[in-house]
A and B are shown apart, each in its own frame.
Chain A
Amino acid sequence: MSALGCSVLGAIVVVCLALAIARRQSAETNAALAERASRPDALRDAELVDMERLFWASNPVGVVGKIDRAYRLPSGLLVLVELKTRWINRPFLSDVIQLSAQRMAVIGQTGQSVASYGYVLVKAPTGRALPIPHRVQLLTDEHVVALVRRREDILTGRVLPRRPQSRKTCLSCAFRGQCDRLFP
């Protein structure tokens, strides 16, 4: 009886272990499939080479950027990808600036050739939504440097900051009251 009980218990343990392994493998496969599904078509043959990695460049200006993903095309060119979670399904200028600065940091640190375009994956903030890729043309290094200089000028008070292009930006801004008082 006790031998039978041990056998049954052993069988249950083996089955549970097998189920746990299968479940884990299935979760891994699903995650890998999700990565495949989220790729833009142009990156179908590319290799995912970097994720969540920090790059920095100090010349001509100090820029540091953490990339979400970098894919390497068969030609050897790196393509940067940035994930954004929002309801509005389009890339913003801020996304382009972010990717451009990241590109400058990657080139500055590694010397690798990075594509002059990148992808912004916009994902609606719901659990099941797939990210939608948008190809964006990145700013040149000169533009990024000019932007860094302008930022420095704004921070040191040499130039006055411009208002945003869209007044909708102000509606969700935590500094709205102060901004209205300072810039009536």
Chain B
Amino acid sequence: MGKRSRQSANDRMVSASELAQMGRCERLVMFEHRHGSRRTAGQERARERGLVEHERFYREGLAASAQAARKGRCFIATCVFGESWQTQVLRQFRDIALRRNVWGRRVIWSYYRLAPGICKCLRRWPALQAPVRVVLGAIAACLRWWPGLRGGSQCRR
């Protein structure tokens, strides 16, 4: 037995990909543990192709996240509260309650069309922010105790 195999297996974490090898071939798991990873030329090429594709997959995900972050912002709440619990609650309400049905999605769509204009007004006349803050704060406080949101998921970070 090699040095690595003498080490207690309990001492170390097993990675998901190492464990996945068990589904491929248990003997391969044993050999790789004894002699380290060994690949044929074809496997090496496939691995490199996989890394390139993963990199592309990651970049696509980043671009989609950035776009969603731009689109999915709780415009007015962010404008008057910044990143606060009220904003989080309102986002949760959007994601958990509104997004589930067609009418809710229409409300979101209409909101996204109107909200940037309202935000411009709020920035231009900051005095308007106080009443909006009171109204939205009250709504957020009520929603916070709504059973549908309690124990729900975390919002977009």
> Is A35 in contact with B99, judged by CB distance below 8 angstroms?
no
Interface size of A by CB at 8 A reads 72
A98 vs B54: C-alpha distance in the bound complex, in angstroms? 16
Interface size of B by CB at 8 A reads 59
Contact of A125 among B17, B53, B60 (CB under 8 A): B53
Q: Given contacts A74-B100, A161-B26, is CB(A123)–CB(B63) below 8 Å? A: no
> Is A98 in contact with B13, judged by CB distance below 8 angstroms?
no
Residues of A within 8 A of B96 (CB): 74-76
CB B135 to nearest CB in A, in angstroms, measures 25
B42 within 8 A of A: yes
Contact of B64 among A35, A74, A78, A172 (CB under 8 A): A35
CB A1 to nearest CB in B, in angstroms, measures 45
- Which residues of B approach A to under 8 Å, CB–CB? 1, 5, 9-10, 12-33, 35, 38-40, 42-43, 46, 49-50, 53-54, 57-68, 72, 95-96, 99-100, 152-154, 156-157
Q: Which 4 A-B pairs have the closest CB atoms?
A: A76-B153, A65-B16, A161-B26, A31-B63
Enumerate 6 A-B pairs (CB-CB under 8 Å) in ascending A order: A34-B60, A38-B60, A66-B16, A86-B46, A96-B23, A151-B29
